[in-house]
Structure 1
């Protein structure tokens, strides 16, 4: 007959064995970044922009509270999703971030690469107002707070490479596009800032 310690060991092994499938069945945390137009996080990851801090290894991790613009990251911390680890993304670098050329008032396909997909509420795209200051950290006052493109998912899980086609605003010159991926079953969203040049 097994001793008491032997019984305890067998019991723990059985519990651990039962727990493994439960752990592996848990949903993965969502992560992702925009590839078109390329986000600041992606440019850091690619080494196009230097001295970015740890975001260069984690471009998919700009996760913060959802509910933007009424909630979400504080002004001045939007590009880093309110996470101080990614603060270099909020640094305007005196307006010298590389800017992708985009066609004003024309059709454009936005793309994301997700490293972990998740049930999704929506993807929304905002753009800075005319006359915004690219040498200052991004704030709500610098944005048109009505998204120019909203793609609703109603809780569905998007593919790992996802695209959304819409019409760009008829802007001119340098601007920033803020893409917000809102997760359905957590309290968070992902924030990606892309510097662009219209025309």
Structure 2
């Protein structure tokens, strides 16, 4: 009898420790908010679809590319923009010599950027940036490679978006291979979500 009671106490104590740890983890990372872009297909989503390989853990959690907010003055460090500075997602920063799958787009056209939010959250805004003409396509993404004036901003002023979000933007008049850098800034945490998509302007 004593053995069973001791076992029940031990199991209850272990469960309490695990629950406390999970609460601490969620509270410290703002883990309630998650999302990724499906159009244009982001690197993270290509990995989830299996259309990009050797991706590491991002293939199971494309919604988790979360880092400090404040881009472009703050946020993830240069060369770590696509991974949001998270070491477990470092594969997203590798340009792979241009081997990432691309989204074919038309220069100057109207285009819908679509997000899937697996957990919506109070939102400051969504902003979209595109690389400059002549950017170094073989180097990891940096601020100097991007036009830091977003092609479009969508303020939410703390409102909570739906789980499916679509934003209409006008694509710049560019040619060849470029990158779209999408930033979803959360209002009530210190973080934002980042997505990199490879584009081919035609």
**Is the TM value for this pair above 0.5?**
yes
Give the alignment partner of residue 84 of structure 1, picking from 77, 87, 92.
87
Counterpart check, 1:139 vs 2:142: yes
Offset at residue 29 of structure 1 (A): 1.1
Mapped contact 1:28–1:118 kept (Cα < 8 A) = no
**Match of residue 103 from structure 2:** 100
- Partner Cα separation in structure 2 for residue 90 and residue 185 of structure 1: 27
Mapped contact 1:38–1:194 kept (Cα < 8 A) = yes
- Partner Cα separation in structure 1 for residue 66 and residue 31 of structure 2: 14
Alignment of 1:107-186 (within 5 A): 107-186=110-189
Which structure has the larger Rg over C-alpha atoms? Answer: 1
User: Segments of 4+ in structure 1 off by > 2 A?
Assistant: none
Offset at residue 130 of structure 1 (A): 0.3
Q: What residue ranges of structure 1 are gaps of 5+ in the alignment? A: 1-15, 17-22
Give the alignment partner of residue 191 of structure 1, picking from 187, 194, 200.
194
- Partner Cα separation in structure 2 for residue 144 and residue 48 of structure 1: 28
- Partner Cα separation in structure 2 for residue 30 and residue 103 of structure 1: 32
- Partner Cα separation in structure 2 for residue 134 and residue 52 of structure 1: 19
Q: Secondary structure at the match of 1:194?
A: strand
Q: Secondary structure at the match of 1:146?
A: coil
- Partner Cα separation in structure 2 for residue 46 and residue 84 of structure 1: 21
- Partner Cα separation in structure 1 for residue 61 and residue 137 of structure 2: 24
Offset at residue 166 of structure 1 (A): 1.5
Mapped contact 1:62–1:80 kept (Cα < 8 A) = yes
Offset at residue 59 of structure 1 (A): 0.2
Offset at residue 28 of structure 1 (A): 6.4
**Match of residue 58 from structure 2:** 55
Q: How many residues align?
A: 176
**Match of residue 13 from structure 2:** none
**Match of residue 64 from structure 1:** 67
Q: Secondary structure at the match of 1:147?
A: coil
What is the aligned-residue RMSD (CA, Å)?
A: 1.5
- Partner Cα separation in structure 1 for residue 79 and residue 118 of structure 2: 26
> More helix by proportion, 1 or 2?
2
